Structure 1
Amino acid sequence: MTGEERLRGREREARDNDRILLQAAREVFVQRGWQAPMSAIAEHAGIGIASIYRRYPSKEELVLQLRIMALGDVIRIADESLEGPGSSVARFLRRHIREAATPLMITFGRHVRTSHEIDELAEELRAALDALIAQDLAAGLIPRGYTAADLMLGVTHLRPNLPTSRERTTEIHLRHLDYYLLGLAAAIDHPERVSGTGATWEEWLAFNAVDEDALEAGPA
């Protein structure tokens, strides 16, 4: 094996180990919330806490990386959901439930300030969701006034953390998604039954903005 091959192997191993760490961190945050200590993440990942701090010197840096990873996954799903028969919005929501990590935006955003990379990814996500909505509007598959922020709020409501298996959780979420989609379809012909106005993207970002009081309290 050449030196270059060994280097590529070490880089691949480092990426795989980082993915395992980030997945463990996400699962711990789902179960225990923002106050979960780094030691709990290390235990769940099966690594020493020093290994976490070498990669992520603080909980804030770890959470920022989780947000970047999550946004990248959702953007990919949104882009891929443009292709195929039927509703792009419905396809996105089904794939999000089946494939994307459980939403933790409120946990993340309320405790850690954003970054330039996250802001750029958020705008990329907005553009991807706007494309889904525009395609469905042109086909008459969703009601007018439905926004990208409405879509993301729908995700948070449709995917609560449930104390059961992943398979059963997915089954329940998909069942409630069917109810949600039936409601969207009914709103096309009966817009008068829908109260208020659609959420704006600025509101969606504000809902996930840092909570200065929580930030001052500091991480566990």
Structure 2
Amino acid sequence: MTAAPMSGRKAQAARNDELILQAARAVFTADPGAPIAAVAERAGVGISALYRRYPSKEALLQKLCGDGLKAYIAVTEQALARDGDVWEAFAGYMRGIVDADTNSLTIKLAGTFQPTEELYRDAMRSGELATAIHHRAVDAGVLRPDVSVADIALLFEQIASIKIGDEERTSQLRHRYLSLIMDSLRAPAGHRPLPGPPAEDDELSARWSPSA
């Protein structure tokens, strides 16, 4: 069944919302302390139109991170549903998360707002999925067993920190270094033991507390 087309007013509101979210992502990943007025200016919408949709900067940050979590969940579920070569499914998951660029939000926005109950639920779901795809790869003997789920999360953040040139150049470089990383993750191979213990889950999650 085809959805009925939106009215002109609703279509404009939807366009404005997309412009606001794109602008907010760009503004806040560049400067988490930027005022919400900077988002309205970048989006080319009036501040009143922005406030009608998002009553506060906190609400806008919650929406951004909620969308990021949902993108992470969708990519990981798709990888887990993939049959056949386990390593290729895991590699597809890694590439998909890099393309979704959800970790740019983690790097810049962790600890800058109070997460909602929905965000906590989605974060728990994303963690469960990350653990599932990680364990499947280890159990299949294709991912080196001394690499933890937290190790992978921090590798994603390191790749997301690469921002050189325009979006196309940044994507090229991120995938270049992802390929190097993937070679180091694959088992079996004559890897040297990793120094020090991996990050703990509570070390990663503590960053989302506004007091962190």
TM, length-normalised to structure 1? 0.83
Matched, 1:30 2:29: yes
Aligned partners of 2:162, 2:146: CA distance in 1, in Å? 29
Please say if residues 143 and 185 of structure 1, whose CA atoms lie closer than 8 Å, have aligned partners that are also in contact. Answer: yes
Letter in 1 for 2:75: I
Letter in 2 for 1:133: H
For residue 142 of structure 1, report the CA deviation from its aligned partner. 1.0
Secondary structure, in 3 states, of the residue corresponding to 1:157?
helix
Aligned partners of 2:148, 2:7: CA distance in 1, in Å? 43
* More divergent stretch after superposition (11-20 vs 42-51): 11-20
Matched, 1:76 2:77: no
Superposition map of 1:124-163 within 5 A: 124-163=125-164
Please say if residues 23 and 39 of structure 2, whose CA atoms lie closer than 8 Å, have aligned partners that are also in contact. Answer: yes
Partner of 2:204 in structure 1? 204
Partner of 1:104 in structure 2? 105
For residue 44 of structure 1, report the CA deviation from its aligned partner. 1.1
Distance 1:101 1:205, change over 3 A: closer
TM, length-normalised to structure 2? 0.86
Secondary structure, in 3 states, of the residue corresponding to 1:42?
helix
Seq. identity, %: 28
Please say if residues 142 and 185 of structure 1, whose CA atoms lie closer than 8 Å, have aligned partners that are also in contact. Answer: yes
Superposition map of 1:168-187 within 5 A: 168-185=169-186
Letter in 2 for 1:43: E
Count residues with an aligned counterpart: 207
For residue 10 of structure 1, report the CA deviation from its aligned partner. 5.4
Aligned partners of 2:37, 2:184: CA distance in 1, in Å? 44
Secondary structure, in 3 states, of the residue corresponding to 1:103?
helix
* More divergent stretch after superposition (156-165 vs 124-133): 156-165
For residue 197 of structure 1, report the CA deviation from its aligned partner. 2.1
What residue ranges of structure 2 are gaps of 5+ in the alignment?
Answer: none
* More divergent stretch after superposition (174-183 vs 91-100): 91-100
Q: Which has the higher contact order (CA 8 A, sep 6+)?
A: 1
For residue 7 of structure 1, report the CA deviation from its aligned partner. 6.3
What residue ranges of structure 1 are gaps of 5+ in the alignment?
Answer: 213-220
Aligned partners of 1:168, 1:6: CA distance in 2, in Å? 37
Q: Could you give the per-residue CA deviations for residues 184-219 of structure 1, whole angstroms, max 9, x where no partner exists? A: 126x5446521122223222111333236xxxxxxx
Please say if residues 78 and 132 of structure 1, whose CA atoms lie closer than 8 Å, have aligned partners that are also in contact. Answer: yes
Please say if residues 98 and 170 of structure 1, whose CA atoms lie closer than 8 Å, have aligned partners that are also in contact. Answer: yes
Letter in 2 for 1:135: R
Aligned partners of 1:205, 1:75: CA distance in 2, in Å? 17
Secondary structure, in 3 states, of the residue corresponding to 1:41?
helix
